[in-house]
A and B are shown apart, each in its own frame.
Chain A
Amino acid sequence: DGGITQSPKYLFRKEGQNVTLSCEQNLNHDAMYWYRQDPGQGLRLIYYSQIVNDFQKGDIAEGYSVSREKKESFPLTVTSAQKNPTAFYLCASTSADRGGNTIYFGEGSWLTVV
Chain B
Amino acid sequence: DAKTTQPPSMDCAEGRAANLPCNHSTISGNEYVYWYRQIHSQGPQYIIHGLKNNETNEMASLIITEDRKSSTLILPHATLRDTAVYYCIVKNQGGKLIFGQGTELSVKP
Residue B49 is within 8 A (CB to CB) of chain A in the complex = yes
Q: How many residues of A contact B (CB 8 A)?
A: 28
| Contact present for A99 and B44 (CB under 8 Å) | no
| Contact present for B87 and A43 (CB under 8 Å) | yes
* Complex contacts, B99 vs chain A, CB 8 Å: 35, 42-45
**Among residues 67 to 114 in chain A, which have CB atoms less than 8 Å away from a CB atom of chain B?**
88, 90, 92, 94, 96, 98-100, 102-103, 105-108
| Contact present for B30 and A107 (CB under 8 Å) | no
Q: A42-B101, A100-B49 are in contact. Are A107 and B42 (CB under 8 A)?
A: yes
A-B contact pairs, 28 of them (CB 8 A): A31-B95, A33-B97, A35-B99, A41-B101, A42-B100, A43-B87, A44-B99, A45-B96, A45-B97, A48-B97, A50-B94, A90-B43, A90-B44, A94-B97, A98-B31, A98-B32, A98-B93, A99-B91, A100-B32, A102-B46, A102-B49, A103-B34, A103-B36, A103-B91, A103-B97, A105-B44, A107-B43, A108-B41
Report the interface size class on chain B.
Answer: 20 to 34
